[in-house]
Every structure is written in structure tokens, then in C-alpha cells.
Amino acid sequence: MSIKKIVVIGPESTGKSTLSEQLAGELQTLWVPEYGRQYLEGLGREYNQDDLLQIAKGQIEQEDALAAKANRFLICDTDLHVVKVWSESKYGRCHKWILEEIAKRTYDLYLLTYIDVLWEDDPLREHPEEGQRHYFYNIYRDIVQQSSLPWIDVRGDMHERLTLAKDAVQKLL
């Protein structure tokens, strides 16, 4: 039986990791943490565009490894669309390999996290302004709308978000 891959996507500091971990717990399966965070925490210098390619490759490597061990579902705390948006926002372009991987990889559901969660300061986060948060939310909304995959807008407190996510997963079955 093949697993269903669910991507939690959205702007910075919108509860993606929390939702990914909680949903995986509810579904008794695995989740793929955001590799970019792990990579940047160990970098010891400012990142550059070449680092984004390494982040993309690490994300895919973790996703593929965990997919082989997952129970019916794999919850992905981000996908390569996030690296693409990040790269285009910061550098005005995206590496060809990332774009090719986006075209090849398949998912079953997107959970788009809204910006109604309070911003939490973090040295790895870059866009705390409300206008920027709306801007990136709209970019991710366009991505999921154009994906032709099922997606839902996840809003509210953590309990409401988890309930919305679980209901969306049930509709996949």
C-alpha cells in the first residue's frame, strides 16, 4: 500500500512544525522536519544561494528515507516550493535542480497555514512584518491553488488547526 504524502506549507512562524508533529502523532505516523532549520543551525556562517540547493537535497533525502518507514501517511513540514519561494525572494532566481524536482515529486494534500499565529522571534526567520507575512501567504496560496491537488486553509488556534487537518486527511481516504 502506498502512503499519502501531506505537505504543511505557509509563511514563516505560522505553526507548520507544530501542526506537522501533532498531525503525525494523531495519525500514528512519521513527519519530516524542515531540513533548512537543521542545516542553518549547524552552518556557522551566513547562508548563500548554494546552501539552498543543499537544503533542498537534504529535505528530499529525509522525505524519501522516512516515506519508506511511514504508516499510511507521511507529514512533510515543507516541500521544495518553500525553497523555491525563499530562493526567488532572496536571490531573484532558483536553481534548475530544485525546479526539476518540484515537477517530478508528487503529494496528495496541502495544508496551508495562515498568519493568524503570533510571530515568534527566531534568528533564522527573516520576515516578521505583517505585510511580508501576507505577501508570502498569498504566494503559497497561489502555489496550492495551481497545484490541482486538494488543499485547505488552516486557521485558528492549535486545536482548531489540528481538527481541520484531521478532517482533510479523512477526506483523502
The CATH number of whichever domain residue 148 belongs to comes to: 3.40.50.300
The mean per-residue pLDDT over the stretch 157-165 comes to: 97
The predicted pLDDT at position 123 comes to 54
Which secondary structure element, helix H or strand E, spans residue 6, and what is its range? strand 4-9
Check whether 120 has a pLDDT greater than 70: no
* Minimum mean pLDDT range among 17-31, 37-51, 115-129, 135-149: 115-129
Instruction: Say if residues 137 and 9 touch (Cβ distance below 8 Å).
Output: no
Closest CA to 113 of 160, 147, 52, 63: 160
In total, how many domains does the chain have? 1
Segment 144-153 shows an average pLDDT of: 94
What's the pLDDT at 125? 47
d(CA 29, CA 18): 15
The pLDDT value recorded for residue 130 is 77
> Whole domain around residue 25: which residue ranges?
4-172
Q: pLDDT, tens digit, for every residue of 87-99?
A: 999 999 999 999 9
In the chain the first and final C-alpha atoms are separated, in Å, by 13
Strands 30-32 and 109-113: unpaired
Phi, psi (degrees; rounded to nearest 5) at 64? -65, -40
**Against a cut of 0.85, is the pTM above it?**
yes
